[in-house]
C-alpha cells in the first residue's frame, strides 16, 4: 500500500494569502512568456499507448502553435514527431486521431514518411535540383516518455525531471490501478472552450474549499473525507472516500448503491476517488471504475480548451460500466459548476474593486501553483502591472537577479 502521508508537505501557519496579481490573468505579453516557460517546456500527456494499439494508429496533440503526432510504428514502438511536413509545413495528419496504412502521406504534395519518421520519398523527386536528401528531411522528433501506459511529450527542454521521477509519488497507485492496461472509452475525449485565462481554471481546481457549496453531488458523495495532499515537484493530490451513507441526489444515490466492490484494488483505493495533479495543467482522476485525465490547454490569454479523455479496465462487468456511467454523469455536473466559477473569478480580475484573493488554509494548493509560476516567471511577483512592452525584459532582469 502506498504510504502517501510520508510525502505530504505541511501547510505553514502563516503565509501570503493574496494569490497572483490580477494583471497576470489578462496580460498578453505574460501569456507569451507562459507559452515557452510554463507550457512548451513542461510535460504534457498526449494519449495512452492503448489509444494507438495497431501499426499506423496515430493521435495528434496541439499546444500553443506546436503540433505533435504520436504514431505506432511497424516495430510496435510508439514515437512522437512534430506534425509538420518538411516540405512546406502542412499537417502530415489531419484531425485528432486516425490510422494510416504503413506510411504517413502529406495531403499537400504527397511527401511520404515511414512510421519511424524517416522520409520515404517525395512526389516528382527529380524536380528537387541535385536531389532530395532523405536522411535530412525526416519528421522532427519530439521528446517523449511513456509512463504507466500514458504518453507524455515535451516540446522544449525544461526544469522538470523525467516523468517517472516527477510522478514517483503516484507510481504505486497507478500500478495498483493497472494503468498500463487501460482501454480508451468510446470516442476519445471531448473538447470544450471556456472564455477564461487558463490560470482561473487551475485556481478553482486547486482547492477543495469550494466543494461543500459549489458541488452538491461531490459533497454528498465524499465531502466529509476530502483531503488535499501535497508532494514535491508541484504535485498535488486530492483524495476522498465514499459509501458511508446512501446519498439523496439521483446520480450519487445510484452510484453508491450500484458501484461494485473492486476487490482487485488495494483497500485504500476501493471506495475512493483520487485526483492526481501534475504541474502545470493536468489532472488524472481515478475512481474504482476507471480513469480520466483532463488538461487546461490555453488558446489565448482569455480562452482555454478543456480536454478530457476517459479509460476503463479490460473485461469490465456490466455493473461496473453502469457505475462508470454514473461517475461520468456526476463529473459532467461538477465541470459545469466549476466553469461558472472560473468565469466569475476571471472577470473579477478586471474589476476596480478587486484587490486580490484572501485564501484559506484549505486553498493552499492555489498558493503552491502560484509559487511554481512565480518561480518560473519572477515578473509575476510584481503587484502593479508593468507596461506590456516591458514585461519580457523585466522578467529577464528579475530572473538574473534571482539567479545571481
Ligand atoms: S507540404 Fe507536405 S508535401 Fe508539400
Ligand atoms: Fe470544483
Centre of ligand 1 to C-alpha 113, Å, is 11
Contact 55, 165 (CB under 8 A): no
Phi and psi angles of residue 227, each rounded to the nearest 5 degrees, phi first: -140, 145
- Assign a CATH topology to domain 1-42+183-404: Naphthalene 1,2-dioxygenase Alpha Subunit; Chain A, domain 1 (3.90.380)
At 130 the pLDDT is 82
At 56 the pLDDT is 98
Centre of ligand 2 to C-alpha 336, Å, is 9
> Of all atoms in ligand 1, which is nearest to the CA of residue 90?
1
CA-to-CA distance for 390 and 380, rounded, in angstroms? 13
Q: How many CA atoms are closer than 13 Å to the CA of 56, on its beta-carbon side? A: 7
> Of all atoms in ligand 1, which is nearest to the CA of residue 109?
3
CA-to-CA distance for 401 and 397, rounded, in angstroms? 6
At 12 the pLDDT is 77
Which residues have beta carbons under 5 A from ligand 2 (an ion)? Answer: 338
Cα→Cα distances 352→152, 286, 348, Å: 41, 41, 9
At 24 the pLDDT is 98
Of all protein residues, the one whose alpha carbon is nearest to atom 4 of ligand 1 is: 109
Centre of ligand 2 to C-alpha 201, Å, is 9
Query: Is 108 close to ligand 1, i.e. is its CB under 6 Å away?
Result: yes
Query: Is 140 close to ligand 1, i.e. is its CB under 6 Å away?
Result: no
Of all protein residues, the one whose alpha carbon is nearest to atom 3 of ligand 1 is: 109
In the chain, count H helices and then E strands. Answer: 11, 18
**139: which 3 cell numbers?**
519528421
**Per-residue pLDDT tens digits of the chain, which is 404 residues long:** 333 343 456 777 788 899 999 999 999 999 999 999 999 999 999 999 999 999 999 999 999 999 999 999 999 999 999 999 999 999 999 999 999 999 999 999 999 999 999 999 999 988 998 878 888 999 999 999 999 999 999 999 999 999 999 999 999 999 999 999 999 997 655 678 999 999 999 999 999 999 999 999 999 999 889 999 999 999 999 999 999 988 899 999 999 999 999 999 999 999 999 999 999 999 999 999 999 999 999 999 999 999 999 999 999 999 999 999 999 999 989 999 999 999 999 999 999 999 999 999 999 999 999 999 999 999 999 999 999 999 999 999 999 998 65
**Domain(s) of CATH 2.102.10.10: residues in the chain:** 44-157
Please state which architecture CATH assigns to domain 44-157.
Answer: 3-layer Sandwich (2.102)
Phi and psi angles of residue 25, each rounded to the nearest 5 degrees, phi first: -95, -5
Centre of ligand 2 to C-alpha 387, Å, is 34
Query: Is 111 close to ligand 1, i.e. is its CB under 6 Å away?
Result: yes
Amino acid at each position: 500500500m502506498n504510504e502517501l502521508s510520508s510525502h505530504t508537505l505541511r501547510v505553514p501557519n502563516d503565509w501570503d494569502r493574496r494569490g497572483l496579481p490580477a494583471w497576470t490573468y489578462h496580460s498578453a505579453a505574460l501569456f507569451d512568456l507562459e507559452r515557452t516557460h510554463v507550457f512548451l517546456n513542461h510535460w504534457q500527456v498526449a494519449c495512452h499507448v492503448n489509444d494507438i494499439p495497431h501499426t499506423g494508429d496515430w493521435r495528434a496533440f496541439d499546444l500553443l502553435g506546436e503540433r505533435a503526432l504520436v504514431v505506432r510504428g511497424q516495430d510496435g514502438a510508439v514515437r512522437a514527431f512534430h506534425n509538420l511536413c518538411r516540405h512546406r509545413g502542412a499537417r502530415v495528419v489531419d484531425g485528432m486521431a486516425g490510422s494510416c496504412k504503413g506510411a504517413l502521406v502529406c495531403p499537400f504534395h504527397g511527401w511520404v514518411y515511414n512510421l519511424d519518421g524517416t522520409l520515404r520519398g517525395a512526389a516528382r523527386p527529380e524536380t528537387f535540383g541535385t536531389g532530395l536528401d532523405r536522411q535530412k528531411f525526416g519528421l522532427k522528433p519530439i521528446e517523449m516518455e511513456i509512463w504507466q501506459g500514458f504518453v507524455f511529450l515535451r516540446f522544449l527542454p525544461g526544469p522538470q525531471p523525467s516523468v517517472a521521477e516527477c510522478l514517483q509519488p503516484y507510481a504505486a497507485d497507478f500500478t495498483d490501478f493497472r494503468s498500463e492496461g487501460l482501454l480508451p472509452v468510446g470516442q476519445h475525449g471531448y473538447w470544450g472552450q471556456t472564455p477564461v485565462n487558463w490560470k482561473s481554471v487551475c485556481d478553482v481546481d486547486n482547492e477543495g474549499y469550494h466543494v461543500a457549496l459549489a458541488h452538491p453531488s461531490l459533497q454528498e458523495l465524499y465531502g466529509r473525507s476530502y483531503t488535499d495532499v501535497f508532494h514535491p515537484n508541484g504535485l498535488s493530490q486530492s483524495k476522498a472516500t465514499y459509501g458511508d451513507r446512501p446519498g439523496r441526489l439521483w446520480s450519487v444515490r445510484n452510484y453508491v448503491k450500484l458501484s461494485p466492490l473492486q476487490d482487485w484494488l488495494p483497500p485504500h483505493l476501493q471506495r475512493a476517488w483520487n485526483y492526481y495533479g501534475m504541474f502545470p495543467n493536468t489532472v488524472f482522476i481515478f475512481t474504482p471504475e476507471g480513469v480520466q485525465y483532463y488538461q487546461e490547454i490555453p488558446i489565448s490569454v482569455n480562452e482555454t480548451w478543456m480536454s478530457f479523455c476517459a479509460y476503463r479496465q479490460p473485461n469490465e462487468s456490466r455493473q461496473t460500466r453502469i457505475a462508470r456511467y454514473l461517475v461520468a454523469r456526476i463529473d459532467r455536473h461538477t465541470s459545469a459548476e466549476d466553469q461558472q466559477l472560473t468565469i466569475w473569478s476571471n472577470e473579477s480580475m478586471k474589476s476596480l474593486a478587486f484587490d486580490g484573493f484572501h485564501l484559506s488554509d484549505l486553498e493552499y494548493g492555489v498558493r503552491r501553483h502560484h509559487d511554481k509560476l512565480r518561480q518560473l516567471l519572477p515578473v509575476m511577483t510584481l503587484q502593479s502591472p508593468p507596461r506590456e512592452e516591458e514585461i519580457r525584459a523585466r522578467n529577464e532582469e528579475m530572473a538574473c537577479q534571482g539567479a545571481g
